[in-house]
Amino acid sequence: MTKAGDNLAIDVRGLTKTFGKRKAVDSVDIAMPRGQVWGFLGPNGSGKTTTIRMLCGLLRPDAGQGTCLGYDILKHSREIKRQVGYMTQKFSYWEDLTIRENLEFVANLYDIANKKQVVDDTLEQLGLTTRQKQLAGTLSGGWKQRLALAACTLHSPKMLMLDEPTAGVDPQARRDFWDQIHRLSAQGLTVLVSTHYMDEAERCDQIVYIAYGKLMAQGRVEDIIDQSGLYTFVAEGTGVRELMERLRNKTGADHVAYFGNALHVSGGNLDALTALIKGEQVVGIIWHQARPSLEDVFIHLMGQSVDNTAVA
Ligand SMILES: Nc1ncnc2c1ncn2[C@@H]1O[C@H](COP(=O)(O)OP(=O)(O)OP(=O)(O)O)[C@@H](O)[C@H]1O
């Protein structure tokens, strides 16, 4: 018999963590189905790493409850650690060991049976076989991240939690990394990946967005945009740069930002925004209403939350 929630890889409610006086994570609920790839987004210092660490049993929440892979996050952290592959933000492998030696070291830590075969298979699966004798310290950022991904899949986890795995990595290497994520997902792994890149968010089945500890949105990218209550007008043509300065802080324009040669002017009040745009019908500039981008929506959500990261 299956229990309600069995299909959820993560099912937590009220997750809270305070450091000193600052609530790093404030009553966050997440219900993430198994087998999906979820993006975890939010401004710097918003509590993504802290949440991931609580979910995978490395940090005890001050409040809240729930399960990860069916295990209680408060009581069964050992089981969770065994079944989750966690890739930290900072490269944490041995630079003076080769790729293969690093993986063998990790295999020993997990006491993996049939170590040679598992390392061979992992090298092959992540396209590292030809580089297995290269010292980790001599790898480019993209290859280092691939090694880190290999290391966190070695013990055959059911779920991966990847903390900003592609930060500072070039676009081709990012694309290759995401191909690997989707390949692993196709094999049945559930993946939660934190990122600041909008294109990566759009590669996910669903996303969670937190700002300064608070959950602001959860769902499919399209639905989050639809439910944002945000309206966007785009201005193109000569003179848009002057427009930007003029529209900043005007009633109706909550956010003004460049995307390529176009200016996106967004706001939550359609009447006020339309009135503002009507007053800016100048020669050389063409206006049209557009669907807000995910970035427009995130900036909007961020503006609705209180930045608690300043040092008191
Ligand atoms: N061990 C700790 N002790 C004290 N404060 C901490 C600790 N870990 C995190 N914080 C604080 O908690 C808040 C959330 O940090 P966290 O690293 O979880 O955010 P994040 O969303 O992962 O940020 P980034 O995108 O910059 O990696 C920050 O204000 C951070 O300074």
Q: What's at 122, amino acid-wise?
A: T
What domains can you pick out in the chain, each with its CATH number? 36-50+81-224 (3.40.50.300), 231-291 (3.30.70)
- Which atom belonging to ligand 1 lies closest to the Cα atom of 46? 21
Output DSSP code: residue 98: B
* Ligand 1 pocket check for 125: Cβ under 6 Å: no
Ligand 1 geometric centre to CA of 46 (Å):
7
DSSP H helical segments within the chain, as ranges?
A: 48-55, 77-83, 99-109, 115-125, 141-153, 171-186, 198-201, 221-226, 240-247, 270-278, 294-303
Q: What is the pLDDT at residue 64?
A: 97
Alpha-carbon distance of 189 to 181, in angstroms, equals 9
**The tokens 């209680």 sit on which residue?**
72
Q: How would residue 5 be classed by pLDDT, with cut points 50, 70 and 90?
A: low
Range 49-77 average pLDDT: 95
| CA-CA-CA-CA torsion sign (47, 212, 195, 39) | positive
Kindly report, residue by residue over 81-119, the tens digit of the pLDDT: 999 999 998 888 899 999 999 999 999 999 999 999 999
* Ligand 1 pocket check for 42: Cβ under 6 Å: yes
Q: How would residue 4 be classed by pLDDT, with cut points 50, 70 and 90?
A: very low
Ligand 1 geometric centre to CA of 41 (Å):
14
Q: What count of Cα atoms within 13 Å lies in the side-chain half-sphere of residue 148? A: 25
* Ligand 1 pocket check for 47: Cβ under 6 Å: yes
Alpha-carbon distance of 163 to 181, in angstroms, equals 13
Query: Contact at 8 Å (CB) between 102 and 47?
Result: no
Ligand 1 geometric centre to CA of 85 (Å):
20
Q: What is the pLDDT at residue 281?
A: 86
Alpha-carbon distance of 279 to 71, in angstroms, equals 58
Smallest Cα–Cα separation from 26: which of 47, 43, 7, 11? 47
Alpha-carbon distance of 211 to 307, in angstroms, equals 8
* Ligand 1 pocket check for 166: Cβ under 6 Å: no
Ranges 105-109, 132-136, 164-168, 247-251: which has the least confidence? 247-251
Q: What is the pLDDT at residue 1?
A: 42
Ligand 1 geometric centre to CA of 127 (Å):
33
Kindly report, residue by residue over 192-250, the tens digit of the pLDDT: 999 999 999 999 999 999 998 999 999 999 999 999 999 999 999 988 888 888 888 88
Higher per-residue confidence, 131 vs 168: 131
* Ligand 1 pocket check for 88: Cβ under 6 Å: no
pLDDT above 70: residue 147: yes
Question: What ipTM describes this predicted complex?
Answer: 0.97
> Both tokens of residue 241?
């740069």
Buried b (16+ CB within 10 A) or exposed e, 139-177: beebbbbbbbbbbbbbbebbbbbbbbbbeebeeebbebb
* Ligand 1 pocket check for 218: Cβ under 6 Å: no
Q: Ligand 1, from 49, 89, 215: best to mutate by most atoms within 8 Å of Cβ?
A: 49
User: Atom 8 of ligand 1 has which residue's CA nearest to it?
Assistant: 50
